[in-house]
Chains A and B, each alone.
Chain A
Amino acid sequence: MIAIVDYGAGNLKSVQHALEFLKVESVITGSPDAIQKASRLILPGDGSFGFMMETLKKKKLIEPIKAFLMESLRGGRPFLGICLGLQGLFQESEESPGIKGLSIFKGSVKKFRDGKVPQIGWNRIVPKKKGIFKEEYMYFVNSYAVAPKDPSIVATETDYFGNFVSSVQLKNITAMQFHPEKSGKGGIDLLKRWLAC
C-alpha cells in the first residue's frame, strides 16, 4: 500500500484522488508503523517548512521517514516528495531559520528574489537528465526553491526570473516543487510514470 504522510496540513486528498483516478490504492497516515510498512511513500506539501518539520517531529515521523529515504537511496522502495515534500529533504530553509530539515540532500531552500511571490501558475519544466520527466508545463505554487549542493541530483529546471531547480532525483528518491496532482493530464501521466518505476 502507498502511504501519503499526514502531518496535519495541505491538501492531502488531492494526491489521493489522483492516485484513485489511476486505480491505485493509498492511505493517508500519520502512523510511523504504516510508513515503515508502505510499498511507496509520498510526502506532499503545503504550509511552511518549520510547521512541517515540527509536526513530523511531534508525531515521531522523522526517523521512519529518514529510514525509508535511506532505503530509497539504496534502490529500495520509492519515495515521492511534492512541494514542501521536496524542500524538507534539504538541510534548512530561509522560510524557517534555525529549523533542521530531513537533510537527505546537502543544500538549502531559498526565497525567490524577483517576480511576484509566490509564483502561482503553470511553468515549464526542462529535464536535465534521463528519467521520468519530460519538457512540459506543470502547476506551481511556491515562494521558495531548493538549491542543492550536488548538481547531479537536479532532474528538471524551470525559469522564474532565472532558473531554479524544479525537481530532483537520486536512485529511488524523486521530489518535485510543482504539483503533479494539479497539473491536469500531464501531471497524471507523470504520476503514472513514477508508479511504473
Chain B
Amino acid sequence: MLTKRIIPCLDVKDGKVVKGTSFVQLKYAGDPVALARKYSEEGADELVFLDITASYEKRKIMIDVVRKVAEQVFIPFAVGGGIRTIEDIRALLNAGADKVSINTAAVENPSLVRKAAETFGSQCIMVAIDAKKSASGWEVFVRGGREPAGMDALAWAKEAERIGAGEILLTSMDKDGTKEGYDIELTRSMAEIVNIPIIASGGAGSLETIARVLREGKADAALAASIFHYGKYSIAQVKRYLKGDGIEIRI
C-alpha cells in the first residue's frame, strides 16, 4: 500500500530559512540545506521549499539553494513561490528540484500548467491552491492570499487536474497559523472530486490533527511548517503516532 506522506515546508528568503526562531533554527542557523538534511534523516517523505524572496534579482539565490539540496538530500522536493514562466520551471528542475508548485500564475495563466505538464510531465507540476471559506463553498485567493481570484476552489482543482496538474497543494487560509487542525471538510471535498493526490496544508497542530486530515480529510499527504521548525514534534514522533493510529506510514 502506498503510504501517506509527511512533508515539512521551509520558507526561504534570500537563501535563508525564515520562520521559526527556536533552538532548532538556531542550531541550523537558517541554512536550508542543513535543515533539509536533518528532516530527511528524521524520516520526512518529501520537502517543500517556498521561496518568499521579494526581489526578482535575488531569486537566483534560490537556484543555488536547490542545487545544493539536490546534491545532498536524497528524497523528493518541490519548490514554489513566484514561478511565472516555463523558463522559471526549467531552471528549478535543471537545478535538481523534483517538482515545482505554481499558485498565482496557474490561476492567471492556466496554459502555463498545460505547457509545463506537456514539457516536463504532470508528475512534477503541483498546483497550489489557497482557499478561504465563502458563503457558497471555498474561494480561491492569489498573490499570497491577498486577492480573491473569483473562482470556486473545488472547480479550480478539477480544472487544474484537467489541464495537467499532477498534485494539488491545498492550503486552508482560515486554518493556516491557527494550529487548531486542518480544514477537514475542504480537504475531503476536494479529495473526493479529483483523481490526483492532495497535499493538505494549514492548521497542523496536535498529532491528532494530522491523523484526522489523513483519515477523515482523505488527504494523501500532510504538510506542516511551524510544528516541525519550532520543535514541537519531530517528524519521527509524528510518524510513530500515525502508524500507531493505524495509518499507512513509512517508518
A13:B96 contact, CB within 8 angstroms: yes
Q: Main SS of the interface on chain A?
A: mixed
Assembly CA distance A139 to B123 (angstroms): 13
B70 within 8 A of A: yes
In the complex, what distance in Å separates the CA atom of A48 from the CA atom of B120? 10
Query: Which residues of chain B from 113 to 147 have any CB-CB distance to chain A below 8 Å in the complex?
Result: 121-123
Interface: B5 (CB within 8 A): yes
> Does A24 lie at the interface of the complex (its beta carbon under 8 Å from any beta carbon of B)?
no
Residues in A with CB closer than 8 Å to B76 are: 139, 141, 179, 182
Q: Are A120 and B74 in contact (CB under 8 A)?
A: no
- Which of A124, A141, A179, A181 contacts B1, CB < 8 Å? A124
Check B183 for interface membership: any CB of A closer than 8 A.
Answer: no
- Tell me whether A118 is interfacial, beta carbon within 8 Å: yes
Given the known A-B contacts A116-B195, A116-B220, A120-B167, are A187 and B74 also in contact in the complex, defined by CB atoms under 8 Å?
A: yes
**Given A139-B76, A182-B76, CB of A47 within 8 Å of CB of B3:** no
Q: Is the pair A141, B123 in contact by a Cβ cutoff of 8 Å?
A: yes
Interface segment out of the listed A14-22, A28-36, A61-69, A145-153: A14-22
Contact of A116 with B70 in the complex, beta carbons under 8 Å: no
How many whole Å from B221's CB to the nearest CB in chain A? 7
Distance of A159 Cα from B1 Cα, bound (Å): 5
The answer to the question of B174 belonging to the interface, with a C-beta cut-off of 8 Å to chain A, is: no
Interface presence of B247 (CB below 8 A): no
Contact call B75/A14, Cβ cutoff below 8 A: no
With a CB–CB cut-off of 8 A, which chain B residues contact A18?
74
**Docked complex Cα distance between A73 and B108 (Å):** 53
A-B contact pairs, 19 of them (CB 8 A): A13-B70, A17-B70, A17-B71, A20-B71, A21-B72, A21-B74, A47-B121, A115-B2, A116-B195, A116-B220, A121-B3, A121-B221, A122-B3, A123-B1, A123-B3, A137-B250, A139-B76, A160-B2, A184-B40
Using a CB–CB distance below 8 Å, which chain A residues touch chain B?
11, 13-14, 17-18, 20-21, 46-48, 115-124, 137, 139-141, 159-160, 179, 181-185, 187-188
Asked whether, in the complex, the Cβ of B96 is within 8 Å of the Cβ of A11, the reply is: yes
Total A-B Cβ pairs within 8 A: 79
Distance in angstroms between the alpha carbons of A193 and B229 in the assembled complex: 35
**Besides A119-B2, A160-B1, A181-B74, 19 other A-B contacts (C-beta < 8 A):** A11-B98, A13-B70, A13-B96, A14-B96, A14-B98, A17-B70, A17-B96, A48-B121, A118-B122, A120-B166, A120-B220, A121-B3, A121-B4, A121-B221, A122-B5, A122-B45, A159-B1, A182-B74, A182-B76
Using Cβ atoms and an 8 Å threshold, which residues of chain A touch B74? 14, 17-18, 21, 181-185, 187-188
Contact B121 A46 (CB under 8 A): yes
User: With an 8 A cutoff between CB atoms, is B93 at the interface?
Assistant: yes
Q: Using a Cβ–Cβ cut-off of 8 Å, how many residues does chain B contribute to the interface with A?
A: 29
- Complex CA gap A182/B67 in Å reads 15
A184 engages B75 (CB within 8 Å): yes
A167 CB → nearest B CB, Å? 17
Does A118 contact B123, Cβ atoms closer than 8 Å?
yes
Q: In residues 37-76 of chain B, which contact A (Cβ within 8 Å)?
A: 40-41, 45-46, 70-72, 74-76
Is B20 positioned at the interface, with any CB of A under 8 Å from its CB?
no
- Which B residues touch A121, using CB under 8 A? 2-5, 45-46, 197, 220-221
List of 6 A-B pairs having minimum Cβ-Cβ separation, nearest first: A137-B250, A122-B250, A122-B3, A141-B123, A123-B2, A182-B76
Distance A141 CA – B167 CA, assembled complex (angstroms): 12
Q: Which of chain A's residues have a CB closer than 8 A to the CB of B166?
A: 118, 120
B190 in the interface (beta carbon within 8 A): no
Most buried by B among A46, A121, A159: A121
Q: In the complex, which residues of chain B have a beta carbon less than 8 angstroms from the beta carbon of A48?
A: 121
**In whole angstroms, how far apart are the Cα atoms of A20 and B96 in the complex?**
14
Closest to B3 in A: A122
